Amino acid sequence: MKAEPLIVFDMDGVLVDVTESYRGTIIATVKHFTGREITNVQIQEYKNRGGFNNDWLLSQQIARDLGFEVEFDAVVGHFKKIFWGNGTDGFILRERWIAEAGLLERLQERCGLAIFTGRLPEEVEDTLRRFAPHLIFNPMIRTGDVAQGKPAPDGLIRIAELVPDRDLIFVGDTVDDARTARAAGVPFIGIAARTQPCRESLIELLEDEGAVHILEDINQLESVL
């Protein structure tokens, strides 16, 4: 009998609530360079346009649209300074793990777990060490592991090559995630949290990109597998 599909998770907004970490860092970075305070709604509007999976590029683009041209390296440097802090005050420590106790453990036994994320390897490692050191995500594809990031399908294609005996399901929360899955020919389950800014627009976009299900969070995942 054929094994159940391997579940491939995006991290931000799927495994981890990053409202106060990555998105908070975008807000703080833009304010540092422009003096303007943007909102989570504005960030989501950019995300819904697609092409902004990289939060450094997004921060630079928002600053540009506000009339401030900032060197990319300067954006990256300040973003990292806020995100990591001194080890005790970095915005990365504001993250919240979304999965309820036992969910991913059951899915690990039933289907297996993998990750395809735009995070850097050290960002993936830090979060998993704090929240889920006992879970096995294999394979893991992060920034630098494939030539092109989302919405290119390279990451999912690479995972499929590494586990050629398994079908895949990709779980993500952005239009870029959905486009990645469609380009790779992989079924896509979308996440649109009740608290998500521009939620109705996001749901419509994910449906247009062929999502087979749209859930409020991954704790509903077992009901549709």
Same domain, residue pair 109 and 52: no
The whole model's pTM is what? 0.95
Q: Could you tell me the two tokens for 64?
A: 């540009």
Q: What is the pLDDT of residue 215?
A: 98
Range of the domain at 76: 22-93
The residue from 93, 123, 156 where one domain ends is: 93
Task: State pLDDT tens for residues 131-152.
Answer: 999 999 999 999 999 999 999 9
Task: State pLDDT tens for residues 85-112.
Answer: 998 999 999 999 999 999 999 999 999 9
How do strand 16-17 and strand 96-97 relate by DSSP bridges?
antiparallel
Same domain, residue pair 88 and 109: no
Q: Is the pLDDT at 20 greater than 90, yes or no?
A: yes
Same domain, residue pair 88 and 115: no
Nearest to 170 by CA among 160, 161, 162: 160
CA end-to-end span of the chain: 17
Same domain, residue pair 119 and 139: yes
Phi, psi (rounded to 5 degrees) for 92: -60, -25
CB 51 within 8 A of CB 135: no
Q: What is the pLDDT of residue 90?
A: 96
